[in-house]
A and B are shown apart, each in its own frame.
Chain A
Amino acid sequence: MSRPTFLDRIDRAAPAVFLLPAVLIVLLMSIFPLVLSIYLSMSRLRFEAGKTVLDFVGFDNYAKFLFGNEQSVLIGTLSTPTWVGWLFLAAAMAWAVYSLIRSARVEGIGGLLSNLLNTLLLFGLIYLAISTIFSQSGRPGALVVTMIYVIVGVTMQYLIGLGLAMLCTQQLKGRRFFRIVFLLPMMITPVGVGYLFRMLADTNKGPLVPFWDVIGASGFTWANLPWGARTAVMIGDIWQWTPFMFIVLVAALEAQGVEPIEAAMVDGANSWQIFWNITVPAITPASITLILIRLIEAFKIIDLPNILTNGGPGTATETMTLYAYRIWRATDIGGSAALAYLLLILVTIVATAYATFARKNLSN
C-alpha cells in the first residue's frame, strides 16, 4: 500500500471533523456547568468587604430542603390520607408489587434488583403526592405541584393534540387555516403567554367578566384559592403546548399508509376498530418519543406561574424551577443549585420510569 496522501488523511478524519464540534460545545457549555453546579450546590455564598466568598458546606443545602426548615416548601405538609387517598395508595401498592413480581419472573433476580430501586422511588413519589393532596390537612409543596402540572399538562396536551390532529388530517376544506392557527400558541414567548392569561383571567376587568356574572361568581378571585390558581396555570400551559403535540401527531398520522385502513374498511371494520387497531399502533413509536420530550421540557415550567400568580397564593403554585429562581434572587446560590440538582434527579427518575414502561408495554 502506498503512503496516504494529505488529502487521504483529511478524508479519513471526516468522522472526527463532523462529530467533534458538537461534542466540544456540549462538553464546554453543558457538562462543565453541570459539574460546576455540583460544587456550587455544596457551598454557601458569603459577602465579604467588596467580594464574594464560596464556603464549602457539604450536603447542608440538600439537607435543608429534604429535612430542614425548607422542607415544607419543597415537599409540603404530609398528613393521613382520606379514604380516596387510601384507595389510590392501595392501587399504587398493588401496581408496585405486580410490576416487581413481573420483572422477577420475566428477567430473573437481576431484573428484579434493577427494577426495585426505580419502583421504590416512584412509589415514594406517589405516596408523597397522595399524602399531600388527598389527605386531611396535607399541603403539596413545589415538588408535588410540579408533578401535577407535568402529568395533567402532558396528558391533556397529548389527548387534545391527538384529537385535533385526527380532525385536521381529514379531507376538509380550510384545514390549512386550522393547522396554522393551531400552531400559533407555541410560537408566542412564554413570558407573553403569562401576561396574556393574567389579562384573560382577571375577574374584574378581563373579557370573561360577563361569564363570571352569568354563573353567579362575579368578583370571584381564583388567585386566592390554591387550586384555582393551579388550574389557571395548567390551562395556560395546556393552551401553549398542545400545538407541539399537534404538529408532530399530524406528521405521524399523515405518514401512516392508507392501504391497511382501506383493507379494514373492505372487511367491514367500524371507525373505532380502525382507530384502535390500525391508527394507534402506527403512531405509537412517534407518540412515545413525543411524550418523553414534552415530559422532560414540562418539568422546567417557570414563566407561566411566575407571571400569572407569582407562585401564590403563598407558594401554592410554585414550581421547582421557580422556587430555585426565587432563592437565587435571595442570593442563596448554593441552595438554588441544590434545588436544581434535586429537580434533575426527579426528572431522571420520572423519565426513566416512563421510558421503561413504554418500552415494556407499548412498543409492540
Chain B
Amino acid sequence: MNTLFKKKSSFGVSPIGAVLSYLILGFWAFLILFPLYWIAITSFKEPDAVNNGPFYIPFVDFEPSLHAWKYIFGTEGTGTITKFTNTVGVSLISTFVAVSLGTLAAYALSRYTYNPKVGTVWTFVGCMGLAIALGAMGIGWMLAIAVALVLFIISLLTLSRRVFKKSLDNGNIAFWLISQRIMPPIASVIPIYFFFQAAQNAFKDAGLEIKLIDTWFALILSYVAANLPIVVWLMRDYFDGIPKELEESAAIDGANRYVTFFQVVLPLVVPGLVATFLFVLVFAWNEYLLALFLTNANSQTMPLFVSAQNATRGPQWWYLSVLVLIMIVPVIGIAIVLERYIARGLLVGAVKG
C-alpha cells in the first residue's frame, strides 16, 4: 500500500486543483462540524439562552452554564450511568457474539460445500406454520413448538434422502442470510416481543422465575440476529480473498479444521474483523426501535434516554445535547480507528464483492 501511495503522488495535484479540493472539503467539513458545535454549545446554555436565541459564541453572546451537565450527572446521575452501562454492555456483547458467529458462518460458506434440499426447507416452513396454527388455537406455545419440531425431525429422518432431490448451494444460503436485512424491523419487533413474553410465561408455568423482557439477554439476542447478516456479507468477501493453498498445506501437516481456521486463516483477516466489529458496534450502539419495545426501566439504552428528554414541556434541548454529546465521544474514537484501517486499504476485501 505504501508503494501505491508513492506512485500516486508522482502525478500529484495541481495547485488550483488543491485549492478547489480544500474549498469543497472544507465546506462539507463545516456542514458536519457546525451542527456538532451547535449541540456542544447548547449543552452549556441556560434555557433562556436557547429560547431567546440564536446565540453563537460562549462568553460573548451568552454566559455558559453547567446546569444541564449537573442535571444529567447529578440529579439523574445513577440513571445516566445505568443507561450508559446498558448501552456499552449490550452493544459490546452483542457485537462480539454477532461477529464471532457471523465470521464462522462466513468462513464455512466460503470454504465448505453445502447442499440443503429444497424439500427440507419447505418441510421446515410447513412445520413452523403448523406450530403457529396450533398455538393460535390455544394449545400452548411450548407444546405446539415441540410437536412441530418432532414432526420436522421425523420427516427429516424418513423423507430427506429418498424424496427430496433438488438442492440449494452456498450462494442460496448466503443470500438467504443477507436477505434478512430486507425485513423492516417494525415487522419483526412485535413478534420478537411476543416471543420473549411467551417464553417468559412458559418458564413461569414450569416454576422458573426467569425474566426476559427488559433484560440484557433479550436485547443482545435480537441485536445478534439483526447484525449477523451484515457480518456474513462483509466477512465472506474477506475469506474469498484468501488463497485456499494455505489451508491445504496446513491440512497436509495434519492440522484439523478447527486448528487450521483459528491459527492459519483467522490471523489473516484480523483487519477485516476489526472493521466489521466497529461497523456492527455502531449499529448496535445507536439502535432504537428494538430497545423501545424490549426494555422498560432496568435495561434502557441511551437512544431511549435521549428521546425521553422530549418532555411534556417540549424538548429539553440542553439535556438532549449533553446526552447526544456523551454518546458521540466514544464513537469518535471508533471513527479514528476505522479510518486507520481504511487508510491502509484493509476494507478493500469487503468491497470487491
B residues less than 8 Å from A192 (CB atoms): 303, 306, 320, 323-324, 327-328
B118 at the interface (CB under 8 A from A): no
Interface bits A182-220 vs B (CB < 8 Å: 1, else 0): 111111111110011111100001111110000000000
Do B258 and A25 touch (CB < 8 A)?
no
Do A179 and B342 touch (CB < 8 A)?
yes
Do B29 and A22 touch (CB < 8 A)?
no
Minimum C-beta distance from B278 to chain A (A): 10
A91 at the interface (CB under 8 A from B): no
Do A182 and B28 touch (CB < 8 A)?
yes
Do B191 and A191 touch (CB < 8 A)?
no
**Provided the pairs A18-B104, A32-B191, A251-B345 are in contact, do residues A178 and B180 lie with their beta carbons within 8 angstroms?**
no
Do B108 and A15 touch (CB < 8 A)?
yes
What separation, in Å, do the CA atoms of A325 and B112 have in the docked complex?
42
**Provided the pairs A189-B303, A192-B306 are in contact, do residues A36 and B353 lie with their beta carbons within 8 angstroms?**
no
Chain A interface residue bracket vs B: 35 or more
B residues less than 8 Å from A185 (CB atoms): 32
Interface bits A314-352 vs B (CB < 8 Å: 1, else 0): 000000110011001000010011011101100110010
Do A198 and B184 touch (CB < 8 A)?
no
Task: Pick from B7-15, B68-76, B78-86, B154-162 the stretch touching chain A.
Answer: B7-15
A286 at the interface (CB under 8 A from B): yes
B residues less than 8 Å from A250 (CB atoms): 342
What separation, in Å, do the CA atoms of A32 and B207 have in the docked complex?
26
A residues less than 8 Å from B327 (CB atoms): 188-189, 192
Do B32 and A179 touch (CB < 8 A)?
no
Minimum C-beta distance from A118 to chain B (A): 16
Do B109 and A30 touch (CB < 8 A)?
no
Do B11 and A262 touch (CB < 8 A)?
yes
Do B191 and A183 touch (CB < 8 A)?
no
A residues less than 8 Å from B132 (CB atoms): 35-36, 39
Do B288 and A189 touch (CB < 8 A)?
yes
Do A184 and B315 touch (CB < 8 A)?
no
Do A18 and B107 touch (CB < 8 A)?
yes
B42 at the interface (CB under 8 A from A): yes
Give residues 7-30 of A contacting B (CB, 8 Å). Answer: 7, 10-11, 14-15, 17-19, 21-23, 25-26, 28-30
Do A248 and B351 touch (CB < 8 A)?
yes
Minimum C-beta distance from A134 to chain B (A): 28
Give residues 107-133 of B contacting A (CB, 8 Å). Answer: 107-109, 112, 114, 125, 128-129, 132
What separation, in Å, do the CA atoms of A286 and B350 have in the docked complex?
9
Do B351 and A199 touch (CB < 8 A)?
no
B192 at the interface (CB under 8 A from A): yes
Do A189 and B32 touch (CB < 8 A)?
no
A180 at the interface (CB under 8 A from B): yes
B213 at the interface (CB under 8 A from A): no
Do B331 and A285 touch (CB < 8 A)?
no
B60 at the interface (CB under 8 A from A): no
B residues less than 8 Å from A181 (CB atoms): 29, 32-33
Do A11 and B258 touch (CB < 8 A)?
yes
B139 at the interface (CB under 8 A from A): no
Do B186 and A336 touch (CB < 8 A)?
yes
What separation, in Å, do the CA atoms of A176 and B271 have in the docked complex?
18
A285 CB contact (under 8 Å) in B104, B338, B352: B352
A254 at the interface (CB under 8 A from B): yes
**Provided the pairs A167-B21, A195-B315, A265-B11 are in contact, do residues A37 and B105 lie with their beta carbons within 8 angstroms?**
no
B331 CB contact (under 8 Å) in A11, A34, A187, A265: A187
A residues less than 8 Å from B52 (CB atoms): 205
What separation, in Å, do the CA atoms of A330 and B216 have in the docked complex?
28
What separation, in Å, do the CA atoms of A302 and B185 have in the docked complex?
10
B18 at the interface (CB under 8 A from A): yes
**Provided the pairs A25-B228, A176-B343 are in contact, do residues A190 and B288 lie with their beta carbons within 8 angstroms?**
yes
B150 at the interface (CB under 8 A from A): no
Do B182 and A11 touch (CB < 8 A)?
no
A21 CB contact (under 8 Å) in B32, B51, B104: B104
B residues less than 8 Å from A228 (CB atoms): none
Do B184 and A344 touch (CB < 8 A)?
yes
A191 CB contact (under 8 Å) in B1, B101, B307, B343: B307
A residues less than 8 Å from B343 (CB atoms): 176, 179
What separation, in Å, do the CA atoms of A167 and B180 have in the docked complex?
35
Q: Which residue of B lies closest to A33 (CB)?
A: B191
Do B339 and A183 touch (CB < 8 A)?
yes
B282 at the interface (CB under 8 A from A): yes
Do A251 and B342 touch (CB < 8 A)?
yes
Do B35 and A34 touch (CB < 8 A)?
no
Do B185 and A21 touch (CB < 8 A)?
no
A29 CB contact (under 8 Å) in B184, B225, B351: B225
Do A344 and B38 touch (CB < 8 A)?
no
Task: Pick from A60-68, A92-100, A103-111, A293-301 the stretch touching chain B.
Answer: A293-301
A172 at the interface (CB under 8 A from B): yes
**Provided the pairs A181-B29, A187-B331 are in contact, do residues A258 and B7 lie with their beta carbons within 8 angstroms?**
yes
Do B345 and A254 touch (CB < 8 A)?
yes
Minimum C-beta distance from A63 to chain B (A): 19
What separation, in Å, do the CA atoms of A180 and B28 have in the docked complex?
12
A residues less than 8 Å from B163 (CB atoms): none
Minimum C-beta distance from B255 to chain A (A): 10
Do A340 and B114 touch (CB < 8 A)?
no
A187 CB contact (under 8 Å) in B105, B185, B334: B334
Do B125 and A35 touch (CB < 8 A)?
yes
Minimum C-beta distance from A13 to chain B (A): 9
The residue among A15, A183, A320, A348 with the most chain B CB atoms within 10 A of its own CB is: A183
Please list 8 pairs of residues, one from A and one from B, whose beta carbons are closer than 8 Å in the complex, sorted by A's number: A7-B256, A189-B327, A191-B303, A196-B35, A210-B54, A248-B351, A321-B184, A337-B187
14 other A-B residue contacts (CB within 8 Å) besides A10-B256, A192-B327: A15-B114, A21-B105, A29-B188, A30-B180, A35-B132, A39-B136, A180-B336, A188-B331, A205-B51, A239-B32, A262-B11, A302-B289, A324-B184, A341-B187
B residues at A contact (CB < 8 Å): 1, 4-5, 7-9, 11-13, 17-18, 21-22, 24-25, 28-29, 31-36, 38-39, 42, 50-54, 56, 101-102, 104-105, 107-109, 112, 114, 125, 128-129, 132, 136, 173, 177, 180-188, 190-192, 194-195, 221-222, 224-226, 228-229, 232-233, 256-258, 261, 282, 285-286, 288-289, 302-303, 306-307, 310, 315, 317, 320, 323-324, 327-328, 331-332, 334-336, 338-339, 342-343, 345, 347-348, 350-353
